[in-house]
Structure 1
Amino acid sequence: MKRIFTISVLVLSCLFSVNVSFAQNAPVKGKVTDAATGEALIGVSVSIKGTTTGTQTDANGAFTLQAPPTATLFFTYIGYTSLTLPVNNQTELNVKLQPEAKELQQVVVIGYGTQRKRDVTGSVASVNGSLLAKQPVQTPTQALQGKVSGVQVLSSGQPNSAPILRIRGTGSVLAGANPLYVVDGVLTDDIRNINNSDILSLDVLKDASAAIYGVRGANGVVIITTKKGKSGPAVVSYDANVGFRQIANPLLLANRAQYTDYLKDANPTADVNAPVTFPGTTDWLKVVSRKAFTTNHNISVAGGGETNTYFISANYLDDQGVIKTNGFQRFTIRANNDINISKKLKFSEQISLSRGAEQTVDLNAIYGNIYRAAPIIPSIIDGKYGNTSAWGNVSNPLIQLEKANNFTLNNRVQGNVALDYKPISSLTLHSAFNADIRFNNQKNYMYQFASDNTTFTVGGGNQRQDNSSLFIQNDDSYQYTWDNTATFDKTFGQHHLTILGGIVTEKFKSNFINGTRQDVPPNQDQWYLSLGNPDVNAKDDNGGGLFTRQSYVARVNYGFADKYLVSGSFRRDGSSKFNQHWGNFYTFGAGWVISEESFMKDNHIFDQLKLRGSYGKLGNDNIDQALYIITATSNLPYYFNNGTLNLGSVIQDIKNTNLKWETTTQYDIGLDFAVLNSRLTGEIDYYNKKVNDALTKIPLPGILGDPDNSYITNAASYSNKGFELGLKWNDKINSKLSYNVGFNISYNKNNVIGLNGGQALFGGGINSKTVTRTDNGQPIGSFYVLQATGVFQNAAEVAAAPTNSFEANKVGGLKYADIDNNGVIDADDRVYAGSYQPKYYGGFNFGINYNSFDLSADFTGNWGNKIYNGKKNSRGSENDNIEASYANSRFTTGKPSNTDPNVITSATPPSTYFIESGAYLRLNNLTFGYTLPSAMLKRANISRLRIFLTSQNLFTLKRYSGSSPELFNDDVNTGITEAGIDNTNYPVTRTFALGVNLQF
């Protein structure tokens, strides 16, 4: 009986405890509104602090949550300051959230740390990741186009191409002009593995503040920060779009009638019916192109508890190329986690795994021939190819596509692990190990085919592949950076001091091995080198690279009374790429927040006004790691007097063993402001950037035996000077209607100011004749050509003209200016005729939100630059095709022209006739979206569902007669002096897509 009584008491006690427990959780209701407008906020995250319990506000801003009377609620909402609010036995709460701090109060990443934008003394631009994710593009830099002053972005329609960035002009010719990318602390030169939806923010260091990265910062720094989780219930997001791409503004080529009419003048002896097997016109661009499918899917889960947060995402991207057989697929997984081991110690990890599969095409072999292939030859009939080469023309572009299979598989691991220890509240010790590991496999297979009637409609010609050929290359690279820093951050009354010091160690190692075999079977399952013939033109090679860097960094930021700002940084870099290993790089900055002065307190114009300036020295070591090392070439044949052949080694290249990095000094003066209740914010900057000790070529006497008759040394100087203006307007008319407008424009003047004994650099060959010259007093890569003055109208003009050393003067031919007045038109009569570098570039964007509808548009453009129409000039054969516009406008006896010549041959020299304006304005993105009311979604436990239509590159206003004024050269290191020549560029594409944003 006693035992039964005891059990009863225990059961009653448990029941009482349960009842008490249930009594402790009571419903808490409330409404969340905008503190400024009183508008109800939809989808605000409401959670009980220290737990994973939470909810979200509905269409009326209302919420209901079961919570203990002593609980503390945590409110978070994008664009608003988070709020912590105790329940205090209340059952109903009216919550007002303040919009996030004004533009100058936002936090930006400055390298090894962050700062409030109002405290920054350098020129730093920041773009929210949500703006980058809106566009259907592979890389964030493509989405950056037109959004930041001082940043020019050139992109290509080719899948998996890396956009070219120029921050405040071109600063190098031989050492690379692209910026450094930093992804969550990982230093890299390639961000094609980054999923745009994972990006929280993108910050651009444009001025000398990039000196914190030493020899990597001369061309600017782009810092990408990926998303992390927040304490609260798990938030699941799914973002996707699906659509198609097509060639934007395809170039029209001459049809059969226009082409045969042209041949009567270009090649009067040609029999236009000889190779013809069909009476129609072949549009070669349509033959090799297609409407390409594209899709992008991203799913993420984010959340966390009191001691840890997590963000996990997966992404799949499929981007077909508009050229047949071309395409790219990528799968990416990311995991970002933070764990508070204790109040003083935090562990964090960010890791990304990506796998990309790319089917490439040879632009020179394919796209370069599209414009030249004769339209009277069929592409393919009854399984047989039209034989363009038998017509004395280029190869058939279609067979070049279908008889080649170029495949590359890319695997990449990128991320870091870090520990942060705070022995005291003002001191943080940070240690991070960052790694970037790549494994790539490439297979290029050429199928066998003969140049006879079994393959072609007409036999003969020179397009053939006598043996199948397989090329395989495996390459891998490993790069790690180990950062160890200590940061002291303390406020003493009106004084705020931040001191950073640290050590950075970096190592890079790469290896590759490749081989080639012939007569490998055409079955893809048998594409192994061991199955080929090792006795016929077999080739194997291997190599790699290794370099290390050791750095010491320091930075001090000081502010007094939130209005007087001083900053300085120092970095000492040691690099194995140079015989002189060590160099010092630094920056100094100062700022004055004028709006905090007492005499500005009662002003009715400026809400915020800051004057800032900076000066510093940066470096560029983006060169081959063995450029200064003298090497010998082995296995060279040499015959002695007795006729005996011997193999030996000899030093062929003359190198400068005292090479050093290029250095850039830059000063910047800027003004940041906010007016009209901070609805209008803006930045104005002037900068002057000078590159010293730039690498260039020095001529050598031929007797020294160097194959190039030159050697590379530090003997050049370049400058970039300019202005930048950026404006943003944000306004809310009422609770239903809001809008924003953004505008930025940049002016840049690039100039070669001293080759110091170096030789002018020529580039951009057209028919074995150079088109550009980089020399003193001109922009890098300036067009250097003859000056065309018109077209010969009659025999009298021909007789009176100077002798032409390139091609005979004739009626209907181009006339040129005799610059040196010696009676002969030759290479000495060339003039500078502009460059591809724009004088002005920028962008304009706007967005409108009305109820559940949103509309946004982004424009980009530039002017003051030139384009060389290389397709028009590059005619290797008299039987090559021409552009339709030229066919209609060229000089004929029945329709004379004073601008367009009768024919263009391989002997026609580069001239101003082929140079056109590169100015354009493009609607880069247009998006229309609709967000379903939350009341409709509540039953499905969906917190947000948005459906949108988007278009990329909808239209372009241009003067250039070619397809697109935006030209892309993917060989960014060796092609800097060749920029602006339109010859074999991949076509620019237009995209239409339907997408969805879903959140649970």
Structure 2
Amino acid sequence: MAFFATCCARLRRSLRMLCLAAILLQGALPAFALKAPQPLLLTFSLKEQPITALLETIEKVSRFKVVYDHNHADLQKKISLTAKEQPLEDVLKNAFRNTRLRYKIIDNYIVITAEAPAPDLPVQAVTVALPQQDKTVTGTVKGKNGEALPGVSVSVKGTASGTQTDAGGKFRLAIPEGDVVLHFTFMGFLPQDVPVSGAVMNIVLEEDVKALEEVVVVGYGTQRRKELTGAVASVKSADLAKLPTTSVTAGLQGKVPGVYVSQVSGAPGAQASVRIRGIGTTGGNQPLYVVDGFPINTGALNIGGSADRIDGLSIVNPNDIESVEVLKDAAAAAIYGARAANGVILITTKRGKEGVTRVNLALSGGVQQLWKKPEYLNAQEFATLANEIHKNSGITPNPEWAEPEKLGKGTDWIDLIFRNAALQEYNIGVTGGNSKLQSAFSAGYLKQEGTMIGTWYERYTARANMDYKVNERLRFGGTFSFSYSQAKANTNNEFRLGIFNLAKMMYPTLGQDAVIQGKPEYYTTQGDNPLLRAQSMDQRMRDFRTLLSGYGEWEIISGLKWKTSVGADVSNNRNRSWLDKFERGFARNLSATLNETYSQNYTWLIENTLSYARSFSGHQLNVVLGQSAQKNNSSWISATGIDYLNDQLQVINGSKEDLRKAGGTEGQYALASYFGRVNYDYKGKYLLSASLRRDGSSNFGPKNKWGMFPSVSAGWNVVEEPFLQDVRAIDMLKLRASWGQLGNDAIGAYNYMSTFRLGNALDNYVLGTGQDLVVGASMLRPGNPDLKWEASEQVNIGIDAAFFKGNVYVTADYYIKNTRNMLVSPPVSIEAGFQNAPFINAGIVTNRGLELLVGYRNKVGEFSFDVNANIATLKNKVVSLGVGQPITGASLSGYFDLRGTYTEVGKPIGYYRGYETGGIYQTKEEVNKTLQPNATAGDFRFVDQNGDNKLSDIDKIYLGKPWPDLTYGLNVNLGWKGFDLNLFLQGMTGFQIYNISKMTGYAIKYFGGSGLMNGTKGALNRWTPGSNRNDVPRLAYTDVNGNYFNSSSFYVEDGDFMRVRNLQLGYNLPQSLLHRVKPLQSVRVYVAAQNLFTFTRYSGFDPEIGDTSPLASGIDDGVYPQPRTFRAGLNIGF
């Protein structure tokens, strides 16, 4: 109860602060719609004139049109009013005093209504003053989902008589006698002609799906979706709002076919791994992110020395996003050339629009918890297995464990270390503008505690977007965004062969003296203590980041525009890691240690584009030519202090002077580019697009700095052909095809140069007769001046279709993606004289797959629904490495060389390789019949694949891969009256996980030395004499058969899973209630749950294993589990 009370108190305080901020921001903004710079400061004098005379005056001196019921008696009331530069709102309030008249400003209209309907009018009337006609018709206009449509133009067909609907979608219009047809028009909807058949009409307008005027952002411009010839997927702000998330990448998870998003960790603020259409290289595979036209660095941020990483996209608040476009094929991405081989993600933030000022508050809070509790052995279970190990190894058992049943369950360290963690988020946004200036301002705050004690993440963001129109030909604009992030972790091995295995559950949390010198005296006599670890280590990160950009656009002549954009991205990061000195039994750290790292990144960008658009005789031509220059300067400096006399003096100079160490480095990266694109279409039927980019990158030597990246694509809007004009069921049918080449320069700086190490003790040389050691240098890697681009050649064939007035929609793509000149570092022998072989361009990798999105939406009465599903297949294959030996991944164990991943021709990148286990020897007689001389009953039987009666490396086989064959998502949106429900399922199948955590979880052996470790419940399934079990080998101190030391199928499990990623129920308060509180435009409340259920057969903590490196993907050495989150939120619009 105290936890929830604290959350409620924080929510109340934050709500008051945000409301105050909204008032201050609204007052600071220009009066976008209510006070234009001059016309709406009114100066006039009326004496005994009707109110209608005032309304006519307003129309003459401003851009507003005033709509009202000319029959209302109060409009004829005589008023005397004088104003000198008085605001419009004050004028209207004074004029309407002592009347029933009320006003509402909607875009360019002032709608005058009455408090209550006139007695002779069944519907509130709003109309332009027209000459009195013989009869009147009233009605309501709505969209197909039941939403009222204000501002719909309603006219008598063939005449100039007309009106517009009011804020509630209602209208009243005088019409002549006889047969009359009303004409309804509204932007984004199909026009409709309806014969008048009665005094009251209810009209439903259909969206203009056939026109498909949706505009999507592409590189250096926008295009209508029906004109696209590339593979571009869009996620709009409305889609992101249905999945409350704290990061941009999490909002894409399962939404876009072909985009594989996995969380690297469940730690708060953790980064996500994003892969578009597979893995094309053993190096950098992250896509290029472009925020409002600025390509940004999204490298993950370290937290001290911990294994956790903070999302590098923290500069972008998901609540600020207008849309996210994913450029998946070469035709769409080639305009970004050298950095587009892994795809491009364009993020567009919200900008101001002409109209009334709008304020939006978004408040939410919730709680996170483990979706699955790691199951470790309790005290009785551990003692039982420990005694068994001692017996099997001929060792005298520990007398304290002689009677396991008396130990009971012991201390549940999981319950002590993990918690229900609070989550709170507050956002405010203000948008508005007039015909000259449009602005958008936002601010946000996020505090996310980790489910593991001592971990948290905090983020502050602010953003301002402004656009100013000088005249019809000249525009300026700019963006300012700021973020401050800080995070805390408590250890670098939360699960990784670490504290939970070292902690035995039979021991208490505290020693006999509960507190010594004001600090808890944690029990550590016979094992590690997770609470001590959590309290003794303090790892923090702070990051400041600012992104500034501006543009100027000049339309030289009609259709010809010049645009210059400049920008800067500055970040400053500090990492700090402190470890207390302690010596308490088994757990000890004899010297307090502090490590601090400061880093800075500065990037500037300047771009110039010249665009030309012209239409003539059914032909439409769009041309873009451009130049871009970008440079990055980075530096970091690190210092370490060891042995502190006073743990309160946590600065480097507080340590022993002779034990201090320091280091640092600097780096530069530059990219110069020229690019062009031509789009052509004929009568909207035949589409053609071609682009070319030339990039020069500092990552390559003088011979290969520059590369060319072309693309060409074509489309055919079949639905525009005459033979389909009469087929009403088909709204859209477009065929697409593309080819192009993209580049990847994310290979690291200076690899074309040789690198040396200086001053390491291993590099010292013996010179002279005295055999004295002198400082020397050794070569780490020879350079390769011929190093060049990794090139990705892509082919894409696609189809876009919509049927039955857009209710059924389909998008399908098939692609082949060949990566050539992949960087490879061949194996090298120690006699070579250097540690690593030079990089060479020798590899070829192929990815191919099918992507499909299909959906159905409709409305039946008050019930509306939109159900869509997406699937994507992937096949990854290495075609060539240019070297004779496979590339092996890093060792999976810190205690011995256990290689689990390999990359070789004919197989996927980073596949798992090892021995196949053929069960467990049940008797010694079975062992004697085979050639595993070190085995005994209870050990694994490894399969001799080639039948040569011996086990060797050639008996190791393909065991699985980390890349899924199939990814899928199912999105269900339901609406009924004011309620809305969203259900989102996401999953993957056809991939495996290398569960290296079984090594310590099942063996219970401390591989770093003598002694036993605690294990997981899986160890209870070990082999025992007579059990005939074939899953887990026997328990023993020694492992001469290599049950755990060998890479084998024992570690490889199916990772297939399906998650209920989001379940959200919301309710929008009806307008009838909101009208009572004048400023309110909308109020929505919702409750949501993320990661509610996970369906999987994987035995580990979590099947969602993120990949930080292609050669170490899918390796589960104890991942921080994804949390299950329950959240409630409130969205308010003013």
- 1:603 counterpart = 2:715: no
How many angstroms does 1:879 deviate by? 1.5
SS at match of 2:597: strand
How far has the Cα of 1:330 moved from its partner? Answer: 0.4
Of 924, 941, 954, the residue aligned with 2:1092 is: 954
Displacement of 1:545 in angstroms is: 1.0
Equivalences, count: 947
Aligned-partner Cα distance in 1 for 2:994–2:44: 91
Q: Tell me, in whole angstroms, the C-alpha distance in 1 between the residues paired with 2:413 and 2:1110.
A: 30
Q: How big is the shift at 1:789?
A: 0.9
CA separation in 2, counterparts of 1:858 and 1:58? 44
Decide whether aligned partners of structure 1 residues 59 and 866 sit closer, same or farther in structure 2, where only a CA change above 3 A counts: farther
What's the TM-score once normalised by structure 2's chain length? 0.79
What CA distance in whole angstroms lies between the structure 2 residues aligned with 1:23 and 1:803?
101
In the alignment, which residue of structure 1 is the partner of 2:876?
750
Q: 1:127 to 1:159 in 2, by over 3 A?
A: same
Distance 1:239 1:849 in 2: 21
Distance 2:660 2:807 in 1: 68
Q: Percent identity?
A: 31
For the structure 1 residues 45 and 769, does the alpha-carbon distance in structure 2 shift closer, same or farther, using more than 3 Å as the test?
Answer: farther
C-alpha deviation, 1:138, in angstroms: 1.6
Alignment-derived partner of residue 67 in structure 2: 28
Tell me which amino acid in the other structure corresponds to 2:353: K
Asked if 1:254 corresponds to 2:377, the answer is yes
Q: Could you list the per-position Cα deviations for residues 720-775 of structure 1 after superposition, in whole angstroms to 9, with x for gaps in the alignment? A: 011111112111112x2100001000111000110112641212533421111111
Asked whether the 8 Å contact 1:869–1:981 carries over to 2, the reply is: yes
State the Cα deviation string for residues 562-596 of structure 1 (Å, max 9, x = none): 01000011000000110020000011100011111
2:864 aligned residue: 738
1:170 to 279, 283, 294: 279
Letter of the 2:694 counterpart: R
Q: Equivalences for 1:528-547 in 2 at 5 Å?
A: 528-535=651-658, 537-547=659-669
Deviation at 1:154, TM superposition (A): 0.1
Tell me, in whole angstroms, the C-alpha distance in 2 between the residues paired with 1:491 and 1:59. Answer: 52
Change (3 A) 1:397 1:614: same
Q: 1:932 aligns with which of 1065, 1069, 1084?
A: 1069
Q: Does the CA-based 8 Å contact 1:715-1:758 persist in structure 2?
A: no
Structure 1 contact 278–378 (Cα < 8 Å) conserved? no
Q: Secondary structure at the match of 1:542?
A: strand
Alignment of 1:575-974 (within 5 A): 575-579=697-701, 580-635=704-759, 636-643=763-770, 644-708=772-836, 710-734=837-861, 736-757=862-883, 759-767=885-893, 768-803=897-932, 808-874=934-1000, 876-877=1006-1007, 879-887=1012-1020, 889-903=1021-1035, 907=1042, 908=1044, 909-940=1046-1077, 941-969=1079-1107, 972=1108
- Residue pair 1:363, 1:985 contacting (<8 A) in 2 also: no
Q: How far apart in 2 are the matches of 1:792 and 1:701? A: 38
Q: Does 1:398 align with 2:528?
A: no
When residues 827 and 932 of structure 1 are mapped into structure 2, their CA distance, relative to the original with a 3 A threshold, is same
Aligned to 1:36: none
State how far apart, in whole Å, the 1-side matches of 2:114 and 2:794 are.
Answer: 50
Distance 1:571 1:81 in 2: 45
1:83, distance to aligned residue in structure 2 (A): 6.4
Q: Distance in 1 between matches of 2:497 and 2:142?
A: 55
Are the counterparts in 2 of residues 25 and 68 from structure 1 also a CA contact under 8 Å?
Answer: no
Does residue 127 of structure 1 match 2:254? no
**SS of the residue aligned with 2:960?**
coil
Tell me what 2:611 maps to.
487
In the alignment, which of 583, 594, 597 is matched to residue 473 of structure 1? 597
Contact 2:258 2:851 in 1 (8 A): yes
Which amino acid in 2 is paired with 1:949? Answer: V
Which residue type is aligned with residue 827 of structure 2? P
1:900 alignment partner AA? V
CA–CA separation in structure 1 for the residues paired with 2:355 and 2:972: 33
Q: Following TM superposition, by how much is the alpha carbon of 1:960 offset from its aligned partner in structure 2, in angstroms?
A: 0.8
Indicate the residue corresponding to 2:15 in structure 1: none
Alpha-carbon distance in structure 2 between the residues aligned to 1:406 and 1:303: 43
| Aligned twin of 2:453 | 324
Counterpart Cα distance in 1 of 2:113 and 2:581: 64
Correspondence 1:339 to 2:439: no
- Distance in 2, matches of 1:59 and 1:794, equals 93
Structure 1 residues 92, 586: closer, same or farther in 2, change over 3 A? closer
Computing the radius of gyration from Cα coordinates, the structure with the larger value is 2
Where relative contact order (Cα < 8 A, 6+ residues apart) is larger, the structure is 1
Deviations 1:21-78 (A, max 9, x none): 4554596249xxxxxxxxxxxxx996353x9x679999999998899999xxxx9999
Q: CA deviation at 1:986?
A: 1.2
Q: 1:91 to 1:723 in 2, by over 3 A?
A: closer
Kindly provide the amino acid, as one letter, of the partner of residue 356 in structure 1.
S
Mapped contact 2:1061–2:1091 kept (Cα < 8 A) = yes
Separation (CA, whole Å) in 2 of partners of 1:63 and 1:756:
79
How far 1:281 sits from its partner (Å)? Answer: 2.3
* Aligned mate of 1:562, from 684, 704, 713: 684
How much has 1:219 moved relative to structure 2? 0.4
Shift in Å, 1:473: 1.4
Equivalent position SS for 2:1087? strand
Q: Are 1:998 and 2:1126 counterparts?
A: no
Secondary structure at 2:909 match in 1:
coil
2:347 alignment partner, SS class: strand
In structure 2, C-alpha distance between the alignment counterparts of 1:606 and 1:948, rounded to whole Å: 37
Q: CA deviation at 1:653?
A: 2.5
Give 1:184's aligned residue.
Answer: 292
1:446 Cα deviation after fit: 1.3
State the distance in 1 between where 2:567 and 2:495 align: 40
SS in 2 for 1:896: coil
2:611–2:624: 8 Å Cα contact kept in structure 1? yes
Name the amino acid aligned to 2:1014: N
The change in CA–CA distance for 1:58 and 1:862 in structure 2 (over 3 A counts) is farther
1:364 positional shift: 2.5
Partner residue, 1:102: 209
Q: Is the 8 A contact 2:592 2:642 kept in 1?
A: yes
Q: How does 1:72-471 map to 2 (within 5 A)?
A: 93=165, 94=171, 97=186, 98=189, 100-102=207-209, 104-155=212-263, 156-174=265-283, 176-190=284-298, 191-208=313-330, 209-268=332-391, 269=395, 271-274=397-400, 280-364=409-493, 367-373=496-502, 374-381=504-511, 382-383=514-515, 391=526, 395-451=528-584, 459=585, 461=586, 463-471=587-595
Partner of 1:258, secondary structure, is: helix
Separation in 1, partners of 2:151, 2:988: 44
Judge conservation of contact 1:28–1:64 (CA < 8 Å) in 2: no
Deviation (angstroms), 1:192: 2.2
> Greater CA deviation, 365-374 or 183-192?
365-374
Separation in 1, partners of 2:129, 2:475: 29
Deviation at 1:659, TM superposition (A): 1.3
What is the rounded CA distance, in whole Å, between the counterparts of 1:601 and 1:59 in structure 2? 49
Distance 2:541 2:906 in 1: 43
1:976 corresponds to which of 1110, 1113, 1117: 1110
Distance in 1, matches of 2:162 and 2:1073, equals 30
3-state SS in 1 of match to 2:875: strand
Deviation of 1:387 after TM superposition, in Å, equals 6.0
- Maintained 8 Å contact 2:779/2:835: no
Structure 1 residues 758 and 66 mapped into 2: Cα distance closer, same or farther (>3 Å)? Answer: farther
Give 2:668's aligned amino acid: L
The structure-2 alpha-carbon separation of the partners of 1:426 and 1:81, relative to structure 1 and needing over 3 Å to count, comes to farther
TM-score normalised by length of structure 1? 0.89
Give, in whole Å, the separation in 1 of the partners of 2:1055 and 2:818: 26
C-alpha contact (below 8 Å) 1:130/1:197 kept by paired residues: no
